[in-house]
A and B are shown apart, each in its own frame.
Chain A
Amino acid sequence: MMDSQKKIKLKVNGREHCFTIGDGCGEIPASETLVETIRERLLLTGTKRPCNEGGCGGCTVLIDGKPSLSCSTLTSECDGKQITTIEGLEDPVTHELHPIQQAFIDLDAIQCGMCTPGITLTAKALLDNNPDPTRQEVAEALAGNICRCTGYEKYFDGILLAAKRMRETANNGKGE
C-alpha cells in the first residue's frame, strides 16, 4: 500500500462503508472531516455543521459510543469505528423514537432545532453510561452543546424524563 493511500471502513448506523483515502480519482482526501463525509457522501444531513470549528457541539456524533465533534475529526482516522448519527436512533422497522427524542417532543424541548441532533447524541452517551444522572451531571456532560434559543431548561427536563422512562423500561424488562 502506498503511503498516500489507505482503505478504511466505517460502520455508520450499523451499515458498513468503505473509502479509499488519497488524492486520486474517487478517493477522499486525508484532510476530509467526518462531518463532510457524513453529510456530503452519505447524505445523512441530520448531522449539522453549524460552526465547523469545534465551538458549538452541533456536529456531535457518537464514535464507538463516545460523543465526538465530527467537524474536528478526520474521516481517515475513523477506520474500524462504529459511528452513530441522529438518523441511527429511530428504529428503522417500527419507527419508534429513542426515548430522548420522544421526551424532547413530549416536552417541546426543541426550538429552532439546529442543536437538537448533537444534544440528543451527547445525551444518549450520557444515559448509556449513567442511567440516573443528576441535573449537575447532565449540565457537565452537555456543556459543549450550545443552544441559543431555549435556555436549556426543557432540554434538562427532557433528558431527565428520558432517563426515567429508560430506567422504568429496564426495570420492567427485569421483572418479566
Chain B
Amino acid sequence: MAEHRYLGKNQPRLAARDIVTGRARYAADEKIAGMLWAKVLRSPYAYAKIIDIDTSKAEALPGVKAIITYKNAPHWKAGMIIPHKHLLSDTVYFIGDAVALIAAETEAIADEARDLIKVEYEELDPILSIEDSMKEDAPQLYPEIPGNVADYEPFANQGMALTQEKVGDIEAGFAEADVIHEVTTVLENAQNPLPPESPGIIAEWNGEDYVTVRGSMSSNGLCRMMNSGCMNLPISKMRVIASYVGGSYGSKHFSSNGLIIHYAAALSKATGKPVGLFYDREEHLTCQTTRMNSIGKYKIGMKKDGTITAIQGEWTGEAGAFNGEHYMIIAVGLISQGVLAQSKNVDISTKIVLTNRQTSGAFRGYGYLENAIHISNALYQTLEKIDLDPVEYFRRNRLKVGDEFYHAYMCSGMVKAAGPDALEMINKGAEKFRWDERWKGFGVPTYEDENVVRAVGVGFCGQSDVGEQLANENVNLTFDGGVTVSCVATEFGPGTRDVMRKIAAEALNVDLSMVRVTDSDSMAAPYEWGSTGSRSTYAMGTAVLKACEDAKRQLFERVAQIFHCPPEALETKDGMVSIIGHPEATVPWIAAIGFNGSITGVGNFGGEYNVLVQQVQFIEMELDKKTGKVTVLEQLCSTDCGQIVNPDALKGQLDGYFPGIDMAIREGMIWDKDGRIVNPNMIDYKTRTWNEIPKHENIILESAADGNYVGTKPPYGAFGAGEPSLAPGIPALTLAIYNATGKWFTTYPITPKEILDALREKEGR
C-alpha cells in the first residue's frame, strides 16, 4: 500500500476551531442589513379548500411588509415530474401546508400578523395511508397525477432511470426453487432525519430576476438544480451560499421539498428586501421531509444452498403531499436487490403514491435502507426455512468483483460490480463479534432467564452510487506556493471539505496549511451537485485530484523550459519544483508562475456506478420480559472504504449508527386520525442520548487502497463509507427480536407492547 503524507492520518478539521469556539456561523447566525423576518401561516387540516381568507387586519399592523396568499402568489410550482404543487393555492394538502406567507420588520410582528389572518376552510376527506391513496374512490389530489400515482415514463424514455427491473424468467426461477416464501413489510415510521438545526434560509431577490439564497443547504448545486425551476429561474440565476449546516442527513439537500427556499424568495421578491425564514422545531418536524414510508411485498424462491432462483417484488413508496425526487429514492433503493439477493430471475415493480401527509425525501440510507428492510425480512424468513445462517448466506451470495447487478439509477441496466468484495468485511466482523459462537439458529436466544432474554442479529446493506453524477472542481496555485480548491463542498459534519483539502495537499505535495477550500458559494466554484448521497469523496475527490494533476502539468511544463528537461523528470514539494534525483536543480513555484501569477487546473469527473459501499452490522440485544423494552447491548459495524482519508472523522460517521436501530424500535412520527402529527417536539420524538449508548466497535477495511477498479478509479482508492451506517441495524434488530420472541415483526417501530404480546404468545405455546 502506498505511503501517504496526509491520507489516512488525523489532522484537525478545517472548521474545528470555529466550531468549538462558537464562531461558526449557521443560518440563524447570519445577519444581513435590512433583513425582514418571515413566518408561514399553516393549515390545520390535512385536505381542505380555502373558502375565504382575510388578511386586512394583518396588513394594517405596523411593520408588516408583505402578505402573500394564493390570490397574489407568483405562479411557481414545485414537484416532479410534472410540477404540480403551487407555491400557494386555494387547496391545502397536509396539516402544516402553507396558507399565507408573512414578512415583517421583526419576528414578533410577523408572528402577530400571522395570528390576525382569518381563514375559512371547507374540509375534504384526506388520504392518510398508502393503501387509501390507491383505492378507486380515493380523492384525486392533483390533475397532473392521475390516480395519485406518479408517472415516471418520461425518465424511463430518456434511459435515465427505470424504477422497474425485470431480468430473466421469473416463473422458471420459482419452478427451480426448493422453498418459496413471501413477506410484506410496512414501513410507516416516517422517521425524521432530525438534524439538530432546523432549516433556515435567507433569500435576497435582485430586481433583475436573480436570487441569492443563504443558509442551511448541504448540497449546493443539487439545491440549485431542484429549486431554481420551481421559481421560474434558470439554474444560473440562483446563487447558493451555504452557511455552516447544523446537520442534514439528507434533509437539507432541499432536493424534494425546497419550499422554505421558495417562500423566502417569494417574500423577498415582493418586498425588495432580504428575507429570513427560520423554521421552528414544530415546523421542522411537521413540514420538512421525513424518511419515505413504503410497503414492500417480496417473494423469494430459494434452493437449499441459499441460491435465490427468483425474486419478485412490489414496492410502493409514499411521497406524501407532493411528489419530488422519489423516483431516485426508489431507483437507488433497487440496488439493495443486487447486494442482498442477487438472482438471475428478478421482477420488481415499484410505485410512488401521494397522500395528505408530510412529504418524504432524502434521508441517509436513501431508498436502499428502506428496500434492505423489505428484502431482508423476506430473505431471513426464507433462510429460516432452509436453516441457513444468514452470515453464511451473505458469504455465499455477496456480489463478487465482476458480478452483474441491476442498477436502475442513471444506468438503467446491468453493471459489473467493481468491488470491493464484501467477504473480508463479513468475515472480520463475524470473527470480532464471535458470530459463529453466538448464533444459535433461527428463533433461538443466546441467553434467557426469568427476567430477560438476549439474542443476536445481523444486517447487511450496500449501494453503488459513491461515484454518482458529474463533478467539476478547479484548483488554483498561487505564486507564493498556496493552493485554493474551488469546490462547493459544504461544512455539514462529515469532514467533506477536509477530504478535498487533503487530496489537494497530497497530490500537490504541499503543507496542509497552504491549502484552502472556497466557501460553498456557487459563484466561487464550478457548478456541480455538492455533497449528496455518498458521492463527495469519490466524485468530487476525483475532480479535485484531476484538477491538481492538470495544474501540476502546467507547472511542470513551465519549469521544464527553465531546466531544459522533460516535464516527466520533475517533482514538486512544498512549493518548490526539482528534477527528480537532483535536489540542486530546484526552483520555487514563483519562478514558473511569475510574481502575482497563478495557475488554474481544471478537473472533471463523469460519474461511475459500479463501486460498492457496503456495511454489515452485528447486534446483541436484551428484552426485558416484564416491560418489553429492548436494550441494545452490543453493536459492531464492519465496512470497507477503499482508503481512509480522515480516520477520526470516518470513525465518527460509523459511530453515528443509532438512528438506524432506533427506526426499528423507537423513532417515528405519530399521527392522529385526522392526519396530525402529535409528537413534533424533542420531548415526544425520542432520540438516543449519552446514557443509552451500547458497547460499539468499528472495523474499517482499506482493501482497495491500491485500486483494482474498472473505469475511473476512486481518488487514491478512497470512496467513503459513512452513509450506510443507519441501514443494517434495522434488519439486524428484527432478526434478534425474532430470535428472542419467536415473532417476525414486519411493521415498525416495534413497540414494547407488541414485544410483550409476542413473548406471551411464545410462552403460551
Contact = CB atoms under 8 A, between A and B. Distances in A.
A145 B690 CA distance: 8
B21 interface: yes
Contacts of B21: 46, 86-87, 89-90, 97, 101
Interface residues of A, number: 56
B652 to A, nearest CB: 5
Given A53-B682, A151-B693, A46 B22 contact: yes
A170 B689 CA distance: 31
Contact of B246 (A44, A48, A150): A48
A108 B247 contact: no
Contacts of B195: 112, 114, 148
A114 B22 contact: no
Given A56-B682, A111-B494, A113-B246, A154 B22 contact: no
Contacts of B281: 50-53, 55
A44 to B, nearest CB: 7
Query: Size band of the B side of the interface?
Result: 35 or more
A160 interface: no
Given A90-B21, A112-B246, A153 B696 contact: yes
Interface stretch (A3-11, A16-24, A74-82, A134-142): A134-142
B12 A108 contact: yes
Contact of A56 (B18, B24, B196, B696): B196
Contacts of B22: 44-47, 85-87, 117
A138 to B, nearest CB: 7
Nearest to B29: A45
A143 B689 contact: yes
Contact of B280 (A45, A52, A144): A52
Contact of B197 (A85, A114, A138): A114
Given A86-B22, A116-B19, A152 B690 contact: yes
Nearest to B698: A153
Contacts of A110: 13, 16, 19-20
B45 interface: no
B682 A146 contact: yes
B249 A104 contact: no
A154 B648 contact: yes
A104 to B, nearest CB: 5
Nearest to B15: A113
B28 interface: yes
A156 B652 CA distance: 12
Interface string A32-65: 0000000100001111111111111010000000
A51 B680 CA distance: 11
A114 B690 contact: no
B492 interface: yes
Contacts of A108: 10, 12-13, 16, 495, 646, 648-649, 652
B331 to A, nearest CB: 27
B245 interface: yes
A90 B29 CA distance: 20
A150 B656 contact: yes
Contacts of B194: 148
Interface in A130-176: 136, 138-140, 142-156
A127 to B, nearest CB: 15
A120 interface: yes
A70 B16 CA distance: 24
Contacts of B196: 48, 50, 56, 58, 112, 114-115, 146-149
12 contacts: A53-B682, A104-B16, A105-B12, A105-B17, A106-B12, A108-B12, A110-B16, A148-B194, A149-B196, A152-B690, A153-B696, A155-B690
Question: What 4 A-B pairs have minimum CB-CB distances, sorted nearest first?
Answer: A46-B22, A55-B682, A114-B246, A151-B655
Interface of B: 10, 12-13, 15-26, 28-29, 194-198, 244-249, 280-281, 492-495, 646, 648-649, 651-652, 655-659, 681-683, 687, 689-691, 693, 696
Given A113-B19, A116-B20, A148-B195, 9 more contacts: A50-B198, A55-B682, A55-B683, A101-B21, A104-B16, A108-B648, A110-B13, A112-B245, A114-B196
